[in-house]
Structure 1
């Protein structure tokens, strides 16, 4: 039986408990024995981590201790899959450069609406946008068969390196109230090989309704199966 570790916490705005709970039946239904931790200190338990096939992380911002970070990196390099969505993986541990290197992309901002249309809550950053599959994404097991899809939610602007394999992108247009002067394309879904481990990052997922979007949920669930050590070893 494969073993999954769900690590959740950090900023409560992303509802880490409710969000991860959405996927527990899926993991159980695919034969995973699931352990849940409310703290990243579990990453520092080398004996436990050696038996974990998949990590699902939902920890926005927060901090991580050196021992835990080293344990996470070692586990992934040894073959443990690592996946998550939105700020729970792409905006975790901002002060830890070694974590950023592991994941390969980091949330920078989510552009907002026209200033006159803002009302002072989170919807100020909810913009209609398209998630566009790349040629690789149209063939990759995580996204194959999906079509480009529309969302109205936070649109992540991501800083990234060239070691990621981009399955989908999203483009930030030029608007008169923004300082940039040409469209910016960010990775929206990507994978990454790290040692023997596979990483899958899905940037949509700000709220439970977005996680329930059929395409978003499909990508996250397929990403769990693809990243798992049991899949990568086959």
Structure 2
């Protein structure tokens, strides 16, 4: 049985504990042995390489180098990394090494919450998005600074809400992407502001596919 670690905490507005339980439920359905921790100390006192997947769910806050370095090294070694929204894409804002590994960083959500926008699936026949069609979300629309090395699987078009960015014209912003970090696979989805959004069938399926894809295969464990 493959093993997954979810570390949850940070800004409570993202309902980290509840979202962690939802993600854990998906992983358990996929036959993962799941550990949830609410302490970053876990990252420095455990051997992270025993896990096949690590799921950050920790918005903002700070992390020490003693906690971050083992995480970076574990993914380089081959452990998978997967997460969503601010729990992975807006963690530890001062840590550029973390952002480099993730492949992007949140910078804005014009219009704030309750913006209705479309998520456009790049290729519904690709394994990470198979069976998922374009869909609408009423939530925060994440504007990201994104690593050009990522592979994009879904996008959303800006602007929807007005703002100083709108004069630049239309931009297709990545919503779902993948990349590699050493031997590890990295998966990110910018959806999931609160538990209600994470429970959307499309988001649940994206996370199911993404987490199982990112996890180290049994042959490499």
Q: TM-score range by the shorter chain?
A: over 0.9
- Per the TM alignment, residue 179 of structure 1 is displaced from its structure 2 partner at its CA by 4.5
* Distance in 2 of aligned mates of 1:179 and 1:69: 33
- Structure 1 residues 58-67 or 175-184, which shifts more? 175-184
Aligned match of 2:131 in 142, 145, 156?
145
Equivalent position of 1:189 in the other structure:
176
Match of 1:201 among 188, 194, 216: 188
Q: CA RMSD in A?
A: 1.8
Normalising by structure 1, what TM-score?
Answer: 0.88
| Residues 66/152 of structure 1: CA separation in 2 closer, same or farther (3 Å cut) | same
- 3-state SS, counterpart of residue 169 of structure 1: strand
C-alpha displacement at 1:177, in angstroms?
4.6
Instruction: Tell me the equivalent position of 1:40.
Output: 40
| Counterpart secondary structure, 1:88 | helix
Change (3 A) 1:131 1:231: farther
Q: How far does residue 48 in structure 1 lie from its aligned partner after superposition?
A: 2.0
* 1:213 corresponds to 2:200: yes
Show the counterpart of 1:104: 103
Q: What corresponds to 1:52 in structure 2?
A: 51
Q: Deviations over 1:186-231 (max 9, x none)?
A: 1100111111111110101001111111111100111111111026
> Aligned pair count?
220
Q: What is the aligned counterpart of 2:113 among 108, 121, 125?
A: 125
Per-residue deviation, 1:30: 2.1
Asked whether the 8 Å contact 1:83–1:200 carries over to 2, the reply is: yes
CA distance in 1 between partners of 2:161 and 2:213 (Å): 38
**In structure 1, what is the Cα distance between the partners aligned to 2:48 and 2:8?**
16
SS in 1 for 2:132: coil
2:80 aligned residue: 81
| Paired residues of 2:86 and 2:193 also in contact (CA < 8 A) | yes
What is the DSSP-based 3-state SS (H/G/I as helix, E as strand, rest coil) of the residue aligned with 1:27?
helix
Structure 2 unaligned segments of length 5 or more: list them.
none
Cα distance 1:78–1:19, how it changes in 2: closer, same or farther (>3 A)? same
The two structures have a TM-score, normalised by structure 2, of: 0.93
Contact 1:141/1:226 (<8 A) preserved? no
Q: Point out where structure 1 has 5 or more consecutive residues left out of the alignment.
A: 113-123
